[in-house]
Each structure stands twice: as structure tokens, then as C-alpha cells.
A and B are shown apart, each in its own frame.
Chain A
Amino acid sequence: MSDDHGPAHYIRIWAILVALLVVSVIGPMFEIQVVTLITAFGIACVKAYMVAANFMHLKTEKTLAVYMLVTCLVFMFLFFAGTAPDVMKTEGTNWDKPALRAMIAAGLAEGADHH
């Protein structure tokens, strides 16, 4: 793999990553859900891309390596898509999760007591 970047390039990438870290910490302080989602999770995706592309040199790596990694990511999303619809519901047709509902209610009540 060709390594045509010098230390200055890597330091620049690191500085951007640190700046993005600051934004991801400050953003959620506004306590606006959309802002939190963008600054915390959106920025995490940007940071991950920057690390993978520049530090891991995936930008210049053979495409096959990228396909390997992307395939595993796709499997991760398949796992999520296959299981989340069940996990994320407390009831459905002819089934119910009373224990989960009770746990949520108890947890929320406990939180309200603490506040």
C-alpha cells in the first residue's frame, strides 16, 4: 500500500478529529434531541470514516479489503433488521412482554423519585 502522506497530513486529520470531539461533547449540552443525534452520532460516523480512510489507509487499499469490511457491516445491519422489530416491541399479535413493561415502569418510577 502506498503511503504518500507525511506527518503534517496526519496531524491535520488528528486536529479535525479533536475539533469534532469537542463538538460532540458540547452539542448534547443544548438538550435538543435532533442536535444530540447529529452532533453525537452523526459526528461519530464522520470521525470513524476519517480514521478508516486516513489512518487505516482504506482510501488507498485494494478494493477487496473494503468489500470484506463492508460485507461484515451489512451482516451487522441484517442482524439488527432481523431482531430489532421483535426486541423493540412490548406486545404484538397474540404475544406480550409483561415483565419488560413492568421493568420499564419500575425504572421510570425510580428515576422520577431520584429527580
Chain B
Amino acid sequence: MAMRPIATTRAMTGIPTGRLAVWWVIASEIVIFGGLLGSYIMHRLVNPQWANYAIHTNTWAGAFNTLVLLTSSLSAVLAHHAATHGDGKKAARYLWFTMAGGGIFIVVKAFEWTHEIQLGYTITANAFWAFYYTAAGLHALHVIAGVVIMGIISVDCLKNQELHRVELIGNYWHFVDLVWIFLFPLLYIAK
């Protein structure tokens, strides 16, 4: 059978195939997180007693994790910049830095949750904690997925192969950061 060329750019949109696919992923994630956070907001507004539960979330831990994710977004975009200039090794180093940020985020989250669960604030305690663990947990799963994918991409980067993927995982990572930017005030600041 004759070899057929692989479409690397969609003629209709003018956007490279991989990047377009990531935009679709992010668009669907907006609906997932948007629905979840929208539900949280409407319930929070009708349940003034949730403020009494929210005072138990650790603002400083949330702020520290926001700083960690913002910094990891910086390293992700610097990895993209290095990849654009064909420097795979530098891109891999920045990706590892970003992965470290994701790791720190999860460790802080683990300490936070352990403390909260020990105090009896479990996912079944009430609707506030159910939303808290669902939203933060779904976000944490995205962080873990991002770290794993970044690890795989960084291996190719070391060989200076498939460097366009650095931008793709970068865009996903920035979205994960963006979701946290809204989760932080909703779960940690509004008390």
C-alpha cells in the first residue's frame, strides 16, 4: 500500500494538529471544571454556613501552592521557548523543573488533606467538604497526569525529538494552573 502523508496541520483552521487537539482537550476541561465550580458557587451562595467550614482550610498552604504552580508555569513556558529554538536539552531541564513543581504541589496537598481528615473533615462530612475534595482532587489528578506526560516528553527532548510536544504539554499545564487560580480564592480565601 502506498504511504500516505500524515497531516500535521489542519487546512480548515490553520492550526497544527497536535495543538488543535490540545485546545479541544482544554475546551472540554472548561466544561468539566466550569460545571463543578459553577455548582460550588451556586451552593456556596445559598449556604452561608459553609463559611464556618471554609475557615478550616489552610490559606497559607493554598497560597504557597499557587506560587508553586505559577512558578512551574513559568518554567513550562521557558521550556517551550527553548524547544522553539531547537534546544531539546534545555527544554528537558525546564520540564523537569516544572515536574518538580507538580511534585511539591501534590506533597503540600497530601499534608493538608491528612491534617483535615485527622480533624474529621472527610469527603462525607458535609456538602462543603464533598465539593472541596472533589474539586481539589480532580485538579490534583490533572497535576499528576501532567507530570507523567511531561516526564515522557522530556525523554524525547533529550534526543532533540518531537520538540513541538513541549508546547502541547505546556498549554495543558497552564490550564491546570489557571483552574487553580480560581480554586484558590473559592476554597481558601472566601471565608
Contact = CB atoms under 8 A, between A and B. Distances in A.
A37 B28 CA distance: 28
A10 B53 CA distance: 37
A3 to B, nearest CB: 5
A76 B30 contact: yes
A56 B27 contact: no
- Give the bracket for the number of chain B residues in contact with chain A: 35 or more
Give the dominant DSSP class at A's interface.
helix
A34 interface: no
Nearest to A109: B49
Q: Which of A6, A24, A55, A64 has the most CB of B within 10 A?
A: A55
A111 B49 contact: yes
Given A55-B174, A72-B30, A62 B14 contact: yes
Interface residues of A, number: 54
A104 B51 CA distance: 11
A13 B19 CA distance: 23
B95 interface: no
Secondary structure of the B side of the interface?
A: helix
A107 B52 CA distance: 8
B46 A3 contact: no
Given A69-B30, A108-B49, 17 more contacts: A10-B77, A14-B71, A21-B66, A28-B190, A41-B185, A48-B182, A51-B181, A52-B174, A54-B77, A55-B76, A55-B170, A72-B28, A75-B34, A80-B42, A84-B38, A107-B50, A111-B51
Interface of A: 1, 3, 5-7, 10-11, 13-14, 17-18, 21, 24-25, 28, 36, 40-41, 44, 47-48, 51-52, 54-56, 61-62, 64-65, 68-69, 71-73, 75-76, 79-80, 83-84, 87-90, 100, 103-104, 106-108, 110-111, 114
The 7 nearest A-B residue pairs measured at CB:
A107-B49, A76-B34, A111-B52, A40-B185, A72-B30, A14-B74, A84-B42
Interface of B: 13-15, 19-20, 23-24, 26-28, 30-31, 34-35, 38-39, 41-43, 45-53, 59, 63, 66-67, 70-71, 73-74, 76-78, 80-81, 84, 126, 167, 170-171, 174-175, 177-178, 181-182, 184-185, 189-191
27 contacts: A1-B19, A3-B80, A10-B81, A18-B70, A28-B191, A36-B190, A40-B189, A40-B190, A44-B185, A64-B13, A68-B27, A69-B30, A72-B27, A72-B28, A76-B38, A83-B38, A84-B38, A84-B42, A88-B45, A88-B46, A90-B46, A106-B49, A107-B126, A110-B49, A110-B52, A111-B49, A111-B52
